[in-house]
Amino acid sequence: MPPKLGMLELAKALRNRPISKENVSEIPLARRHELVDIFKSIVVPSSAGIEFISSVQNILYQGLMQRNPRIEANRQRLRDTSEFKGTREKSVPWFPSFASGAILEAITGMGKSQILDRYLSLLPTVIEHGAIPECQWAKLKQLVYLKVHMPSDGSRGGFLESAFLALDASLGSNYREQFKSWTVERKAVAFLHLLSLHCCGLLIVEEAQEKNLAHTAFAREFQTFFLRVLNWGIPTVVLGNPLAFTELRSFSQDADRFSEGGWHTMFPVAEPTDAEWVNHWMPGLWTPTLLDEPDAPYSPLPNGIAEPTLDHFIWNRTAGVPRYLCRLRREVQKHALFAQKAINTEMIDFVYRNSKTFDSIRPRIEAMVAKDWQKLQMFSDIPAGTFRRLWNGVEINISTPPDTARGMADKPNQKAIKPKQSTRSKKDPLKTPSHPSLDENFQESQIRSLALAAKQADV
């Protein structure tokens, strides 16, 4: 395993900047439209993202240490738990200790999976060990982490089917075939046993949604099962929509177990003057271009709307949501490459208002820009109540679980990270919309500010 990284090292490692002037210049202009989707692979580490990954790193390395098979106590634990293989989950006793869990909740488009996948790409999936007589094995495939998606139907059977497929894909095994005739109850225990057998350092559960985790007939059973995973010593991280965790929040002990590694939340950038927007998202995701020339200097549209800088102009068309920022940049690049024209504010606004890729999300963007929580209520997967309190100045803590009132959307009591405001005067416009005064590769001082913000998040 690679060594653990500090906050600054994590920030540097998480960055991904595949588009550069040097790389692009080698490709004929007529073929650059084929590269537009590369914008999706750009990773801009935010303070909330760095804090979450730091938490994941901590519980992963803790989990690997606690499952180290070279330690006799761990081997004895495996022998003890293996006795329950083949029994029903309800027949398995609860052990006195639990591994750490963590939650990352955010509305769609915030880059939950992207930042985690970027970190996982820095790690091996499996470590193969040769024969070690004192450990009594001829060989061992140690599973560093296992990632499983929640099934759309919210059933445990569907989850376990995905879990066995993920195990086989990582280990080259045939566990799915081996256990296909077992009942769901017995499969659940077999899955726990296999995680222990392969000394799994971390279980990651993705795509938790209200429809598959909170409001299904299996909601409570799923929570109990994930608690079983923690109880068997496997750290577990669950990523999903805030509304997916309403049921979990209603049980204080369960919420405590799952938040040992932090209850993290990602919000859209609240204002166009936020330091992260000005110093990170805009230069990191908007500045890269597939054209030979940078965008034309920013010039406000004559529409009477106060948009003194490009930061304001783009924020008003993306609501500070990373996915929408990336989508707008991609669509503008496509338009400019097709028209063979320089990008300017008129082109950006035209693409925003006419691109079919924005038709379904434009009402959502405009509601968030206007801070109109009532209009957000028309979107069933957005916790409008949370945004109402956020916009009204109620502090929302993104690192610890709320109280046990039902749902983040109903009663948040958390404290939000409030990034340091940009010190650039509104009267001092950017030289061009491409932020030439900011290093496209991110200045080290900017990375340090992100790491510091993440480190101080709980202060």
Give residue-wise pLDDT tens across range 200-244.
999 999 986 665 555 554 467 778 888 999 999 999 999 999 888
What is the residue-averaged pLDDT of the chain?
Answer: 84
pLDDT at 456: 63
Count of helices and strands (H, E) across the chain: 19, 7
pLDDT at 214: 52
Tell me if 248 sits within 8 A of 113, measured CB to CB: no
Report the pLDDT averaged over residues 36-56.
96
For residue 383 the two structure tokens come to 């916790």
User: What are the strands, taking DSSP E only, across 53-189?
Assistant: 101-106, 126-129, 140-143, 146-149
Q: Give the DSSP letter of residue 290.
A: S
Of the two residues 289 and 447, the one the predictor is more confident about is: 289
Report the pLDDT averaged over residues 408-428.
37
Is the pLDDT at 178 greater than 70, yes or no? yes
pTM: 0.84
Strand 203-208, strand 236-240: pairing: parallel
For residue 263, the surrounding DSSP H or E stretch is: strand 263-266
Is the pLDDT at 429 greater than 70, yes or no? no
Distance, in Å, from the CA atom of 266 to the CA atom of 42, rounded to the nearest integer, reads 18
Domains, the chain, ordered by start:
7-48+268-455 (no CATH), 68-266 (3.40.50.300)
Strand 126-129, strand 140-143: pairing: antiparallel
Is the pLDDT at 404 greater than 70, yes or no? no
Report the pLDDT averaged over residues 353-371.
96
pLDDT at 301: 95
pLDDT at 257: 86
pLDDT at 441: 47
For 206, left (φ over 0), alpha (ψ -120 to 50), or beta? beta
One-letter amino acid at 52 equals F
Closest Cα partner for 252 from 403, 99, 407?
403
pLDDT at 426: 37
* 3-state secondary structure at position 43: strand
End-to-end CA distance of the chain: 31
Strand partners, 201: none
Of the two residues 118 and 392, the one the predictor is more confident about is: 118
pLDDT, tens digit, for every residue of 54-89? 999 999 999 898 888 788 887 778 877 877 887 777
pLDDT at 94: 85
Lowest mean pLDDT among 175-189, 239-253, 295-309: 239-253
